[in-house]
Amino acid sequence: MGPTARSRWTRPALRNRGSPDPQVLSRRTHRRGARTAAACGLGLAVLASCAPRLDPDAPWSASEFALLRSLSPVAAPAPNAGNRFADDPAAAALGQALFFDKGLSANGQVACATCHQPARRFTDGLRHARGVGEAPANAPTLLGAHSVPFLFRDGRKDSLWSQALGPLEAEPEHGFDRMAAAHHVAARHRQAYEATFGPLPPLQDSTRFPAHARPVPLDRGHPHDRAWQAMAHVDRAAVDRVFAHIGKAIEAYERKLVPGPAPFDRYVAAVLRADPAAATLLPTAARRGLRHFIGAAQCVTCHNGPWFTDGAFHNLGLPRAAHAPSGIDVGRSLGAQRVKEDAFRCGGLHSDTKDCPELRFLNPRFADFLGAFKTPSLRNVETTAPYMHTGQFATLAEVLAFYQSLPGTAEVGHRELTLSLVAQDIDPVEIIAFLHTLTSPLPDARWLHP
Amino acid sequence: MNAAARLRIGALAAVGCGMVACYKDGSQKVAPAMAPPQALRVDSPALAPSGAPVAPAAAGEVREVGGPGERGTFRFVLRFTAPKVNELFAVETVVTDAATHAPVPGAKFSLDATMPEHGHGMMTQPEHRELAPGRWRTEGMKLHMHGKWIVEAKAEAGGRTDIVRVPWDQPPAVAGPVQP
């Protein structure tokens, strides 16, 4: 935790902004005043709490109680009809081997685990992930990734198996290609692959299957693309099938990554069975922080459900990171279009289901998708710094300072109206103390190494 | 009796069928679930008049809302299981002639939801299917935020159009049991 968050009287938000514009300040004060009055005065159903007098052990109202139940515990991954190997143990074992296999990269140095390191709860501690090159984004944790309908900051993928194929061919990440990936599987994982997915195509026939090939839609002159276009249609389909199976094995592995109960889960379990010892299970500051989180600070508007994410996309109007790549990131508005056209989408040729309501009803032209990014899970957030999709913030104190000042305006689109300023009289240290109670033991040790 | 229970009983009385059973198991049992149109004449307390506030419903509760359209031409009755925030749900709408109570078949029908205070609609584009004359099933509705929504049903038939706007207060986050 940064030193700026230690005292509630040191307002990091205001300090960091240099000399604040008086107009902005007065508007802010006004808004804050209005909200506090509404919350405290009317005591509305919205779990009102008045920060300064908040009792960490007040009896829970019925709606608070329901909310607590909705946040804990985490459930096992729901079935995924799009991948019929999703819960196949042999597929998971192969997926585990592939996840740690550096042979699936252009330089032989990069595996999924390079950026998604088990000991760091499947992140890498960097602002921007580094593989063969530098990725334009922060690597998120994989814990809980199975719980949301769309993957990546802009939701450009709609399943874990399809998602896994992205980094393999992304130039800054694995920088690999599906043809080489198929050859690698044939050379190193043939037995495990064929036992689960059936015989590999005759990849040794180099007249039909070159060493490297992949479609490169944005660069038709790329040697990989030329090699891909030169292949017979059936051979391309056979390679795509192997590629999809690589993804399906990796998804089966990722679904095993279920963390153990966090202190928060033990607390909720105790509250639910009316155990008088519940209060002893979390520090006082964290119990107060929880009440802010589901109450006046309204974090639970977006960070909800057992994984503390609504799986949806919001424009927070975040500051641009100093190190951000040039160009404007429109976020979900492009991601929604891309996922509808993705070759490995739900209902596509390689999907095991045709029932894809999330994709079918998705409206890619929804105006507020502009500049919106996916709500991340807050489980284990203590251990996954830096924060936000381009690592804008180094510490949770900086994140809270942002929510308590909402500086500037959105770079593109507009800051979502649901995001109301968090009152200055809410102690950020308490919310952070609560976030720390979401840290779980790592998943079972047998999944943490090749 | 709380308001929710009254509403539920109202809905059941109105159509004489276990609404929960009829609608919880999806579209398979559409035929038996279908109410004779005249049954809807019963002014069930579940029917909030157009424009009147609708009490928030706990997720999972079956709700019936709607009423006569703004032009008094058609009558719209919308039935759905109160959704959780950000969860796909379906709505069944019965469109009848406000004067004769006869079903209005073959209409050009649409159902939408918007948040006027936020100036946006839904992130989804729903699909509508006429299951029986004047009876529509809309799939792909999703209220991605808590707060004040307006659910809007519109029908155009025989040169006549009408619209009903039903306020819907979506409660925050997910309330209700998640674990069995």
pLDDT in the model for residue B172: 65
Model confidence pLDDT, tens digit, residues B75-119: 999 999 999 888 899 999 999 999 999 999 999 999 999 999 888
CB atoms near residue B43 (< 10 Å): 11
- Give the residue-averaged pLDDT of B44-64: 60
Chain B residues with CB-CB distance to A45 below 8 A: 56, 171
Say yes or no to pLDDT of A161 above 80.
yes
The per-residue pLDDT for B117 is 84
Interval A367-373 mean pLDDT: 94
Helix (H) or strand (E) segment spanning residue B151: strand B147-157
The C-alpha of A398 sits at a distance from chain B's nearest C-alpha, in angstroms, of 25
Q: In the numeric block, which tokens belong to residue A167?
A: 């980094």
Q: Residue B8: its pLDDT value, please?
A: 34
Lowest average pLDDT, out of A27-36, A42-51, A338-347, B125-134, goes to A27-36
d(CA A317, CA A222): 37
Residue A160 binned pLDDT confidence (cut-offs 50, 70, 90): very high
Q: What is the pLDDT of residue B157?
A: 96
- Closest chain A CA to residue B172: A301
A367 touches chain B (CB under 8 A): yes
The pLDDT tens digits of the residues spanning B7-33 come to 333 333 332 222 222 222 222 222 223
The pLDDT, as a whole number, for residue A321 is 83
Q: Which residue of A has its CA nearest to B121?
A: A366
> Predicted confidence band at B145 (pLDDT cuts at 50, 70, 90)?
confident
Residue B151 backbone dihedrals phi, psi, to 5 degrees: -95, 130
Which of B145, B146, B148, B170 would you mutate first to test chain A, the one with the most A CBs within 10 A? B145
pLDDT-based confidence at residue A51 (cuts at 50, 70, 90): very low
d(CA A349, CA A342): 11
Rounded to the nearest integer, the mean pLDDT of chain A is 89
Q: Which residues of A touch B171 (CB under 8 A)?
A: 45, 63
Look at residues B123, B112, B119 and name the one whose alpha carbon lies nearest to residue B164: B112
pLDDT at A25 over 60: no
Do residue A312 and residue B86 have CB atoms under 8 angstroms apart? yes
Q: Are the beta carbons of A305 and B174 separated by less than 8 Å? A: yes
Q: How confident is the model at residue A192 (pLDDT cuts 50, 70, 90)?
A: very high
Q: Do A312 and B144 touch (CB under 8 A)?
A: yes
B126 chain-A contacts, CB cut-off 8 A: 361
Task: State which of A1-5, A14-18, B126-130 shows the largest mean pLDDT.
Answer: B126-130
Beta-carbon separation of A362 and B88 below 8 A: no
Q: How far apart are CA A322 and CA A384, in angstroms?
A: 20
Domains of chain B and CATH, by start: 1-34 (no CATH), 36-170 (2.60.40.1930)
What average pLDDT does this structure show over A296-304?
91
Q: Mutate which of A64, A67, A70, A313 to test chain B, going by most B C-beta atoms within 10 A?
A: A70
Strand partners for A393: A387
Distance CA B163, CA A198 (A): 56
Q: Cβ separation of A300 and B173 shorter than 8 Å?
A: yes
Q: State whether B178 and A311 contact (CB < 8 Å).
A: no
CB contact under 8 A, A75 and B147: no
Q: Is A300 exposed, middle or buried (0-12, 13-18, 19+ CB in 10 A)?
A: buried
Write the pLDDT tens digit of every residue in A372-426. 999 999 999 999 999 999 999 999 999 999 999 999 999 999 998 889 899 999 9
Q: What average pLDDT does range A290-298 have in this prediction?
A: 94
Inform me whether the pLDDT recorded for A61 exceeds 70: yes
User: Which pLDDT value is given to residue B7?
Assistant: 34
Tokens describing residue A69: 């139940």
Mean pLDDT of A65-80: 90
Which A positions 268-297 lie with beta carbon below 8 A of chain B?
294
Comparing A96 with B39, the larger pLDDT belongs to A96
At CB < 8 Å, which residues of chain B contact A?
A: 56, 85-86, 88, 117-118, 120-127, 139-140, 142, 144-147, 171-179
Residues in chain B closer than 8 A to A301 (CB atoms): 145-146, 172-173
Residue B56 pLDDT level (bands cut at 50, 70, 90): low
State the pLDDT at residue A52.
53
- Is the pLDDT at B44 greater than 60? The verdict is no
**B55 — pLDDT class (breaks 50, 70, 90):** low
pLDDT at B17: 28
Q: A326 falls in which pLDDT band (50, 70, 90)?
A: confident
A442 vs B: CB within 8 A: no
Check pLDDT > 80 for residue B41: no
Asked whether residue A442 carries a pLDDT value surpassing 50, the answer given is yes
Is A319 near chain B, with CB under 8 Å?
A: no
Split at pLDDT 50, 70, 90, the class of A7 is very low
Pairing of strands B135-141, B108-114: unpaired
Alpha-carbon gap: B16 to the closest alpha carbon of chain A (Å): 31
Partners of residue A75 in chain B, C-beta under 8 Å: 178-179
ipTM of the complex: 0.71
Banded model confidence at residue A322, pLDDT cuts 50, 70, 90? confident
Candidates A397, A432, A144, A170; CA nearest to A285 is A432
- pLDDT at residue A245 above 90? yes
The pLDDT score that the predictor gives to residue B3 is 39
Q: Of all residues in chain A, what percent carry a pLDDT higher than 90?
A: 80
- A3 touches B: beta carbon within 8 Å: no
For residues A66 and B25, give the distance between their C-alpha atoms in angstroms, rounded to a whole number: 25
Q: Search chain A and give the residue with CA nearest B180.
A: A75
Task: Please check the confidence at residue A286 and state whether its pLDDT lies above 90.
Answer: yes
Q: Which among A176, A199, A197, A174 is positioned nearest to A246, based on CA atoms?
A: A197
Q: How close does chain A come to B116, measured CA to CA in Å?
A: 12
Is the predicted pLDDT of residue A81 greater than 80, yes or no?
yes
Q: In this predicted model, what pLDDT tens digit does every residue of A105-151 receive, in sequence order?
A: 999 999 999 999 999 999 999 999 999 999 999 999 999 999 999 99
Q: Compute the mean pLDDT over every residue in chain B, rounded to the nearest whole number.
A: 72
User: With 60 as the cut, is the pLDDT of residue B35 above it?
Assistant: no
Determine contact, residues A316/A385, Cβ cutoff 8 Å. no
Q: Between these two residues, B13 and A282, which has the higher pLDDT value?
A: A282
**pLDDT at position A89:** 98
- Which of chain A's residues have a Cβ under 8 Å away from the Cβ of B139? 357, 361
DSSP conformational letter for A345 = S
Q: Please name the member of A67, A361, A418 whose beta carbon is closest to the beta carbon of B175.
A: A67
Contacts of B140 in chain A (CB under 8 A): 357, 360-361
Residue A221 identity (one-letter amino acid): G
Using a CB-CB cut-off of 8 Å, the residues of chain B touching A73 are 179
Q: What is the pTM of this model?
A: 0.85
Q: What is the mean pLDDT of residues B46-58?
A: 53
